[in-house]
């Protein structure tokens, strides 16, 4: 083989190695979990997707800015529970949740109660009857449970289930929010006293609370 052919063979071989390396790099990152822009959290299933658990415990929640989501994920981890995120239809954007803007969606809904009847894309949980314990999470808006979760309570039968509510807020206590949600249920089951967590809840505090519920 003359010198020109040897050089050409070497170039082709080097190109093949580089191509294979690039493909391997892409394959290792394309399926990695990415952070949700609105929540600032990563590695969780998309909204409305149930993650597998022990089949008896489920954590159902809705989170506007990610605070309730983080607590829900901690609870699901500590209890080996199924995690189920509710999906309002239409979904809330960050602009919708601007409480300082009188023209934002959330303020308009608060001022006009007829707008608070929010549909859910996924109000019905698969295998709902198999769960005996339901952790139910929500943020606090204006000292009450957020209205996007109300139709879930109305549309589901909680008879035979233990419901353990939890909420997140900057400063507002849980107050009567859980009690008022229970009143919406046709068959409420057994509701325990709820717990309020701060927007930056410590996972250790969440774990200790979960232990107290057993």
- What is the per-residue pLDDT across 162-210, written as a single tens digit (0 to 9) for each? 999 999 999 899 999 999 999 999 999 999 999 999 999 999 999 999 9
C-beta separation of 192 from 213 below 8 A: yes
| Segment 21-25 mean pLDDT | 34
Considering just the CA atoms, what is the radius of gyration of the chain in Å?
24
Reduce the DSSP state of residue 169 to 3 states and report it. coil
Best-predicted range by mean pLDDT (13-17, 43-47, 74-78)? 74-78
Supply the pLDDT for residue 182. Answer: 98
What residues pair up with 134 in beta bridges, in sequence order? 58, 163
What residues pair up with 183 in beta bridges, in sequence order? none
The 10s digit of each residue's pLDDT in 119-153 is: 999 999 999 999 999 999 999 999 999 999 999 99
Cα separation of 167 and 67, whole Å? Answer: 9
Supply the pLDDT for residue 39. Answer: 34
* C-alpha neighbours within 13 Å on the C-beta side of residue 80: 3
Dihedral, CA of residue 123, residue 130, residue 71 and residue 206, to nearest 10 = 150
| pTM for the structure as a whole | 0.76
User: How far does the chain reach from its first CA to its final CA, in angstroms?
Assistant: 78
**Nearest residue to 122 (alpha-carbon basis) of 46, 207, 66:** 46
């Amino acid at each position: 083989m003359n010198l020109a052919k040897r050089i050409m063979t070497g170039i082709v071989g080097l190109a093949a190695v580089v191509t294979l390396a690039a493909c391997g790099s892409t394959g290792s990152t394309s399926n990695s979990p990415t952070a949700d822009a609105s929540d600032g959290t990563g590695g969780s299933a998309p909204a409305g997707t149930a993650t597998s658990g022990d089949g008896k415990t489920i954590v159902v929640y809705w989170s506007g800015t990610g605070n309730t989501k983080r607590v829900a994920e901690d609870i699901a981890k500590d209890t080996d529970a199924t995690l189920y995120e509710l999906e309002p239809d239409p979904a809330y954007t960050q602009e919708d949740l601007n409480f300082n803007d009188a023209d934002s969606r959330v303020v308009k809904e608060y001022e006009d109660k007829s707008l608070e009847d929010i549909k859910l894309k996924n109000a019905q949980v698969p295998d709902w009857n198999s769960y005996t314990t339901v952790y139910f999470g929500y943020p606090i808006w204006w000292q009450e449970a957020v209205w996007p979760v109300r139709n879930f309570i109305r549309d589901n039968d909680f008879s035979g289930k233990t419901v353990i509510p939890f909420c997140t807020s900057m400063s507002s206590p849980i107050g009567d929010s859980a009690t008022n949600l229970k009143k919406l249920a046709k068959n409420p089951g057994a509701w325990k006293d709820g717990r309020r967590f701060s927007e930056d809840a410590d996972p250790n505090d969440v774990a200790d609370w979960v232990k107290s519920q057993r």
